[in-house]
Amino acid sequence: MAEQDWETFRALLKEVWNDPLVRKRIEQRTDIAPRTLSRWISGETEEPDRKRLSSLLTALPYQRDALLSAIAQAMPDFEAPLFDSSIQLLEDLPLDFLIRLLETNAHTPRNLHFVAVINLIFLQLQPTIDPERLGVQLIIAQCSSPVPAGHPVRSLRGRVAFGLQCQLVSGQYRAEHRRGAAFAGAQKQG
């Protein structure tokens, strides 16, 4: 890559690196040494390692979009993962959650079953999916069956929508859990 391709990234990283809280966050959440970051900023490193760039993006969710844009200027084929692949979503599910899930599955009336099970799963996975408490929304949609069979699907209907919106209020996060009804489907024109 050409030297000037990384200038935007270096300038942004230098600005971010000057914040002591960001420095601490990078040190705690990545395996990137301060010396490595200094080399990135100064240009001693010609092209930063992709794995470390992904790690940096994960550690700095508030600066993610700006950093990703700057990285894309220098490395157009760079694709940042949506989730940190080192985190196993289902690895350490607590036993009490599994018991609640089985009880809900066994005792919930059929008309409420789907929503109740999805709600439990969403609330359990929310800290993993959204660890920075930026807010997350989950929409489960269902395709209608094509008529006649073998033709394209023409509509999509939302079954359920859940959301968790977090706001910083007086120095503390206030989470607001929202559950919505199904939305009317969008129909493909064609």
Q: What would the pLDDT profile of 135-181 be if each residue is shown by its tens digit?
A: 777 777 777 776 777 777 777 776 666 666 544 444 444 444 444 44
Is 0.85 surpassed by the pTM of this model? Answer: no
Torsion angle, alpha carbons of 158, 159, 164, 165, to 10: 30
Please check whether residue 137 is in contact with residue 162, taking contact to mean a CB–CB distance below 8 angstroms: yes
Tell which residue, 45, 42, 58, 56, has the closest CA to residue 10: 42
- Mean pLDDT comparison of 95-99, 122-126, 173-177, highest-scoring range: 95-99
* Higher-confidence position of 119 and 140: 119
Tell which residue, 20, 29, 181, has the closest CA to residue 114: 181
Q: What are phi and psi of 141, to 5 degrees?
A: -115, 155
Residue 129 pLDDT: 73
* Higher-confidence position of 137 and 116: 116
User: What tens digit of pLDDT does each residue of 11-56 get?
Assistant: 999 998 998 888 888 888 888 888 998 999 998 988 888 888 988 8
Residue 3 pLDDT: 47
pLDDT at residue 107 greater than cutoff 90: yes
Euclidean distance between the first and final Cα of the chain, in Å? 44
Write down the domain spans for the chain: 3-74, 95-183
Q: Are strands 172-180 and 155-169 parallel, antiparallel or unpaired?
A: antiparallel
